[in-house]
Amino acid sequence: MSFHDATVPAFLQILGSLSGLLSKAETHCQTKNIEPDVLLNARLYPDMFPLSKQIQLVCDFAAKGCARLTHSEVPSTPDTEKTFEELRQRLASTMDYLKSFKPAQFDGADAKDVTFPVGPSNSLTLKGQQFASGFSFPNFYFRAATAHGILRHNGVDIGKRDFLGVK
Amino acid sequence: MSFHDATVPAFLQILGSLSGLLSKAETHCQTKNIEPDVLLNARLYPDMFPLSKQIQLVCDFAAKGCARLTHSEVPSTPDTEKTFEELRQRLASTMDYLKSFKPAQFDGADAKDVTFPVGPSNSLTLKGQQFASGFSFPNFYFRAATAHGILRHNGVDIGKRDFLGVK
């Protein structure tokens, strides 16, 4: 199996499943007569990021992760999304971006150095595999599962199968 | 990089960081005069698993995942832990189990079939890489991040750096 097989499909699986979670959340708002902003701005604690920012960060960890692993230009996307539909579009454009990579671009990337920013003024260099396993994926899943937790905590009828994107 | 490098260290990183999260939660209980059971039984929603079960599931997804990938006997661990200390011991014994694998046991495992149970009466067969990327890790991180979310929601002073195990 290639390093592409070990990275891109995993990102795509969860980006797709989050789109489904947002649709269920939007339907929940319509059914229960809840303003969408209530859920889009919901947080698990006052100093945590709200749902919308969690989704934006999920997209960033996937897109920037793949860019850094393939030594491509790292995309910078303004966080302008204000509705469920706009967040689904952000997820979809992130998926399109990930699909634009050719598997060969990842060949050997597991053993190549990746230098990436940590905090406002420091950077860290890791081998591609360590960057993916120790930084990129844990951050990606952390944001995705927190988004799920926010919606679940607010009573949206979702569960782990929705998170995994299993039918 | 080997398939062992792509799996075992990632599990160990988060199993270790969760042990630190539990220690901070225990200190929080002592400082605020909160019964430990309040946090150990805390949930984000009434029909979700409580913190203690999330930790037990994290351990299971790591241990069983590595066992299935290496075609070893799949361990079955009774969920008896009732205290922070017992949960830390569960995490530690899971880490010891993962460290007991030799890297060579994972050689070629990414391309070998893994058959595993899904639900009470079905099973699924995937290549090892797909099992790891599409099932094992998403479930593992989902439980770990949910455990973090439960503690964060209850006011324990932790954050993403604690989740990642970054000093």
pLDDT of residue A1: 79
CA distance B29 to chain A (A): 18
Cα–Cα distance, A72 to A67 (Å, whole number): 5
Residue B86, pLDDT above cutoff 90: yes
- Residues from chain B that touch A14, judged by Cβ atoms under 8 A, are 138
What is the band of B167 on the pLDDT scale with cuts at 50, 70, 90? confident
DSSP B61-123: HHHHHHHHHTTPPPP-------SHHHHHHHHHHHHHHHHTS-GGGGTTGGGSEEEEEETTTEE
- Residues from chain A that touch B1, judged by Cβ atoms under 8 A, are 110-111, 127-129
Q: Do B129 and A155 touch (CB under 8 A)?
A: no
Residue A160, pLDDT above cutoff 80: yes
Which residue in chain B is spatially nearest to A141 when comparing CA positions?
B141
Q: What is the mean pLDDT of chain A?
A: 97
- The first and second tokens of residue A14, run together, are 């969860």
Cα–Cα distance, A4 to A109 (Å, whole number): 9
Q: Do B141 and A141 touch (CB under 8 A)?
A: yes
- The string of pLDDT tens digits covering residues B4-50 is 999 999 999 999 999 999 999 999 999 999 999 999 999 999 999 99
Q: Do B153 and A111 touch (CB under 8 A)?
A: no
pTM higher than 0.95: yes
Q: What is the mean pLDDT of chain B?
A: 97
Residue A39, pLDDT above cutoff 90: yes
- The string of pLDDT tens digits covering residues B121-145 is 999 999 999 999 999 999 999 999 9
Q: How far apart are the first and last CA of chain A?
A: 25
pLDDT of residue B1: 79
How many beta-carbon pairs below 8 A join chains A and B? 111
CB half-sphere exposure, B34, CA atoms < 13 A: 19
Interface of A with B (CB under 8 A): 1, 5-7, 9-10, 13-14, 44-45, 48, 110-111, 127-130, 132-135, 137-139, 141-142, 144-146, 148-149, 152-153, 155, 160, 163-164
CA distance B90 to chain A (A): 21
3-state secondary structure of A25: helix
- Residues from chain B that touch A155, judged by Cβ atoms under 8 A, are 45
Which residues, 6+ apart, have CB-to-CB distance to A44 below 8 Å? A146, A149, A150, A153, B44, B149, B152, B153
pLDDT of residue A120: 87
CA distance A166 to chain B (A): 10
pLDDT of residue B93: 98
Dihedral sign computed on CA atoms, order A138, A143, A148, A150: positive
- The string of pLDDT tens digits covering residues A108-138 is 999 999 999 988 899 999 999 999 999 999 9
Q: Which of A7, A48, A160 sits opposite B142 (nearest CB)?
A: A160
CA distance B64 to chain A (A): 18
Which residue in chain B is spatially nearest to A129 when comparing CA positions?
B6
3-state secondary structure of A55: helix
CA distance B136 to chain A (A): 11
For residue B80, give the amino acid letter. Answer: T
pLDDT of residue B119: 82
- The string of pLDDT tens digits covering residues A65-107 is 999 999 999 999 999 999 999 999 999 999 999 999 999 999 9
* Of A19, A20, A117, residue with least CA distance to A67: A117
* A90-99 b/e (C-beta count within 10 Å ≥ 16 → b): bbeebbebbe
